[in-house]
A and B are shown apart, each in its own frame.
Chain A
Amino acid sequence: MMTALGILWYVLICVLMIGYFVLDGFDLGVGVLYPFIAKDEKSKGVLRRAIGPVWDGNEVWLLTAGGALFAAFAPAYATSFSGFYLAIMLVLFGLILRAVSVEFRAHETSNLALWDALFFIGSLLPALLFGVAVGNVVEGLPLNANGDYTGSFFALLNPFALLCGVLGLVTMLTQGASWLSLKAELGSELRAKAAALRGKLSLVSVVVFLIVTVMFFAGVQPGASYEVGSMELGCAGAAIYLVAMCVMQFACKPENDKKDLVAHLLVSLSAAALIIVLGATLFPNLIPALDPALSINIANAASSDTALTAMTIIACIGVPIMLVYHVIVYRTFRGRIS
C-alpha cells in the first residue's frame, strides 16, 4: 500500500537529488574542466578558490540523499548500492581522491601534477557514473526475489546508460562553466573562456538530452516493465529544461558579464528539471525490475509510518537550519575572485 508519507519521501529524495545535482554538479564540473580551461598556476588557483569554500558542503547533499534513501526506502538503497557495486566504488574512490587532492595540494607543492590529475579524475568519475547508474535504473534491472541485481558489471555499460552518463556529465560541465564565468575576475581571459564554453556546452547538453529522449521512447519504454509515472509532469520537466537552456543561450551572451548570475540560475534550473523528469518517469517505482512483480516501489519499499514520521520531524528541524548555513556560506563568499 502506498502511503502519503511514502509519497512525501519519494518527493523529498528527489528534492535532495536536485540539491545535489544543482550544487555539487557545478563543482564536479569545475573539476572536470580544470585541466582544459586553466593552463597557468594563477587561473588554476582561481578555479580552486571558486569552489574551495563550498564543495564540501555541496557533497553533503549526496550523503544526505543516500542517508534519506536508506531511511525511507532501504530496499532501494540496498539494491542500488550493491547492484552497482563496482561503479559505486569507483565513485567513492573518485570522491576520496578528489577531497584529499584539494587539501594536500596546498601542502605538497612538489607533487602538483599528481594532485591536479587526481582532482580531475576524482571529479570525472562521479560526474559520469551517476548518469550511467540512473540510465540503468530507467531501463529496469534484472533482480531476483531478494532484490539483488543478477546482471554483470559490463551489462551496466550499455549505450542508453552511457548516454545518460554523458548527459549528466555535460550538464555538470555546463554548470561548472557558468559557475566559473560568475566567479572569475571581470574582463579576465578565464571568464571569457568559461562564458563561451557555457554557451557551447549547453547546446551539447540539449542535443544529448534530445537523443536520450528519443532513445527512451523508441527503445527503452516499449520493452520496459513499467509505465511512465506521470507523462504530464515529465513533459513539464522536459519543457522547463529546454526553455531554461534556450533562454540562457539567447539572453545571456558570453560577452555580457552582467548576466552571469542569471545564466547560472537558468543552468541550475535546467539541472533541477532533469531530476523532475527522472522522478516523474519512474514514479511510483524507485528501481523497476525486468520482472514487474519484483520492482522496488513506494508501496513495497517504504519504511513504516512511525519511521517516516520521525524522519519528517527531523527534516522539518534540520532542513531550515541547513539552508541557513548555505545562505551564510554563499553570502560570505559571494562576488568574483580577484
Chain B
Amino acid sequence: MDAVLLARIQFAATALYHYLFVPLSVGFGLVLAVLLTKAYKSGDPHDEALADFWVRLFTGTFAVGVATGITMEFSFGTNWADYSRFVGDIFGAPLAAEALFAFFLESSFLGILLFGKKKVGRKAYMVSGWLVWFGSCLSCLWIIIANSWMQTPAGYTVESTSAGSKAVLTDFFAAALNFSTLQRFCHVVLALLITGALVAIAVAAYYKLKGRNEEFGHKLLKTGFIIAVVCTVLMMPAAHQQAAEVAEQQPAKLAAMEGQWESGPAEMSFFGWVDEASGTTVTVGIPGLTSWLASGSFDTVYPGLNDFGPDYYTGNVNAIYQSYHIMLYMYGIVIIVLILSALVLAGKVKGKWALRIMLFGWLASLLAIEFGWLVAELGRQPWIVYGELLTADATSLAVTPVMLVITLLLFLVIYVMIYFFWLRASFRIIKKGPEAYLPANNDEEVQK
C-alpha cells in the first residue's frame, strides 16, 4: 500500500478514535458543571453525591481524550511534514493557542476537581467545573478554526520559496473566521453537548431499569433531558447554516452528499445507493428539498459531480453519501430517544422498553458525529487544503510505509486495550452509583 493511503488511514483511525472521547468530555463537562451548581446551591448531600459521581465518570473519560489528543497534535509533524511546511504560517497558531488558552485551563482545574475538593472552597470547586468545561469548548474552537481553514482557506497568499511554495498569513481574523468556522463550531459543539447529555439520560434509564437510585436517576434524567432538548432544537438552524455554507463553499462536497451527478435542483433523498463506476445514483427522496434547505428555493440549481473536473472530483461518493445519510438517521434516533425521555419524565410511559431504547441514544449521537466528520473530510478530497494543496503532496517523505504499518498496528493494540479498560472502568463507576459518594451515615437509608 502506498504511504499516502496509509497516512490517511492512520489519521482517520486515530482522529475517529479520539472523537469517541471528545463528545463525552465536552458533553459530560456541561452536565458536570450543572450538577456541581445544583449541589452548591442546594447543599443537599444527594446532589453532592451525584456531582461527585459525575466527576469520577468525567475525569476518566477526559484523561483518555487528552491522551489520545496528543497523537493528533504530533501527527501533523510526524505523518504530514510537507503539509506542515506548507501551512505552518497559519495552522500552527491555533494549535499553540489551543494549548495556551484551553489545555492549561482544563488541566489545572481538572486537577482541582480530582484532588482539591477538601482544599478549596465549595464555590471555587463549582467554578472549577465550569472552567474545565469552558476550556474544553475553547479547545474545540481552536481546532475548528484550524480545520475550517483547511476546508475554506482565507486570509492568506501563497508564496514560492526556495524549498517550495507555502501559505503565508495576510489577515489573522480573516484566516481564523474564514468562511465556515462559526457555522462548523456551532454544529460541532451542539453535537458534543447532545451526546454528553444523552449519556446522562442513559445512566438514568439504567438506574430506573434496575429499580435503584430512583431519586438520583430522576435528577440525572431531568438534567440530561433539558440540555439535550435545548441543544437538539438549536441543532436544526445550526445544521442548516452548515449545509448552506457547504453548498456555497464546497459544492462538490454537497453533490457527493446527495450523490447528484448532473446539475439541477438538489434532491433530499431518504436512502439510496451510488454506483460510481456508471456515474448513477438510485434514490428515494423529495426532489429540490436540499436546494430549498440550502437556499430557500426548490429551484436553485446546484452543480452535479459530472461538472467537476478531476481536480475537484471527490471520489468515495457512495461512502460520502451513506455517511451523510447515516448521520441523519442517527439524528432521527436521537429525537426519538428525547421524545421517549419526555414521556418517561412526565410519567406517560411506564414500560421498560422505553428505558431500554434510552440506553442507546448516546451511541446514535456518537455515530452521527463520527459519520459527520467522515463526510466533512472525505468530501474535501483530493485536497488537504481546499483548492491549494493536494493530500497526495502533503505527507512525510522521511516516513516509509513500513513505519506507518508498524505504528498503525501499535495504535490498534494500545487503543483497543484502552477502550476496553475505559469501558469497564466507566461501567464500574456507573454500577457503584452515586450512592457510593454519600456520607457514610446516609448509606443504609439509600440502600433500602
- Given A67-B98, A96-B414, A328-B108, is A146 in contact with B164 using a C-beta cutoff of 8 Å? yes
A78 x B100 contact (CB < 8 A): no
Please tell me if A273 contacts chain B, counting CB pairs below 8 Å: no
Please tell me if B246 contacts chain A, counting CB pairs below 8 Å: no
Q: Which residues of A contact B87 (CB under 8 A)?
A: 74
Bound complex: CA of A306 vs CA of B89, how far in Å? 9
B70 x A53 contact (CB < 8 A): no
Bound complex: CA of A263 vs CA of B275, how far in Å? 71
- Given A77-B84, A304-B169, is A318 in contact with B100 using a C-beta cutoff of 8 Å? yes
B421 x A64 contact (CB < 8 A): no
Interface segment among A103-111, A158-166, A275-283: the answer is: A103-111
Contact of A322 among B104, B109, B162, B406 (CB under 8 A): B104
Which of B79, B104, B396 is most buried by chain A, counting CB atoms within 10 A of its CB? B104
Q: Which residues of A contact B16 (CB under 8 A)?
A: none
Bound complex: CA of A306 vs CA of B421, how far in Å? 46
In chain A, positions 74-125 with a C-beta closer than 8 Å to chain B are 74-75, 77-83, 85-86, 88-89, 92-93, 95-97, 99-100, 102-104, 107-108, 111
Bound complex: CA of A49 vs CA of B418, how far in Å? 23
Footprint of B on A, CB under 8 Å?
49, 52-54, 56-57, 59-60, 63-64, 66-75, 77-83, 85-86, 88-89, 92-93, 95-97, 99-100, 102-104, 107-108, 111, 145-150, 300, 303-304, 306-307, 310-311, 314-315, 318-319, 321-322, 325-326, 328-329, 332-333
- Given A78-B396, A310-B172, is A318 in contact with B101 using a C-beta cutoff of 8 Å? yes
In chain B, positions 74-94 with a C-beta closer than 8 Å to chain A are 74, 76-79, 81-82, 84-85, 87-93
- Given A86-B403, A95-B67, A146-B163, is A70 in contact with B396 using a C-beta cutoff of 8 Å? no
A78 x B169 contact (CB < 8 A): no
Nearest chain A CB to B437 CB, angstrom units? 14
Contact of A53 among B90, B115, B406 (CB under 8 A): B115
A304 x B108 contact (CB < 8 A): no
B77 x A325 contact (CB < 8 A): no
Nearest chain A CB to B103 CB, angstrom units? 4
Nearest chain A CB to B416 CB, angstrom units? 13
B100 x A85 contact (CB < 8 A): no
Please tell me if B307 contacts chain A, counting CB pairs below 8 Å: no
Nearest chain A CB to B173 CB, angstrom units? 9
Bound complex: CA of A318 vs CA of B103, how far in Å? 11
Q: Which residues of B contact A329 (CB under 8 A)?
A: 108, 111-112
Apart from A74-B87, A82-B79: 5 A-B pairs, beta carbons within 8 A: A93-B414, A96-B71, A146-B164, A321-B101, A322-B104
- Given A92-B74, A332-B116, is A74 in contact with B104 using a C-beta cutoff of 8 Å? no
Contact of B115 among A49, A321, A326 (CB under 8 A): A49
B70 x A148 contact (CB < 8 A): no
Q: Which residues of A contact B95 (CB under 8 A)?
A: 66-67, 70-71
Nearest chain A CB to B47 CB, angstrom units? 23
Contact of A66 among B68, B73, B88 (CB under 8 A): B73
B168 x A306 contact (CB < 8 A): yes
Contact of B111 among A52, A89, A95 (CB under 8 A): A52
Q: Which residues of A contact B100 (CB under 8 A)?
A: 64, 67, 314-315, 318-319, 322
Residue of A nearest to B59 (CB): A103
Contact of A77 among B90, B92, B424 (CB under 8 A): B92
- Given A60-B103, A148-B398, is A318 in contact with B89 using a C-beta cutoff of 8 Å? no
B92 x A78 contact (CB < 8 A): no
Please tell me if B328 contacts chain A, counting CB pairs below 8 Å: no
In chain B, positions 118-134 with a C-beta closer than 8 Å to chain A are 119-120
Q: 1/0 per position for B50-71, CB-CB distance to A under 8 A?
A: 0000001001100110111011
Please tell me if B428 contacts chain A, counting CB pairs below 8 Å: yes
B111 x A85 contact (CB < 8 A): no
Q: Which residues of A contact B109 (CB under 8 A)?
A: 325
A70 x B78 contact (CB < 8 A): no
B169 x A307 contact (CB < 8 A): yes
A325 x B105 contact (CB < 8 A): yes
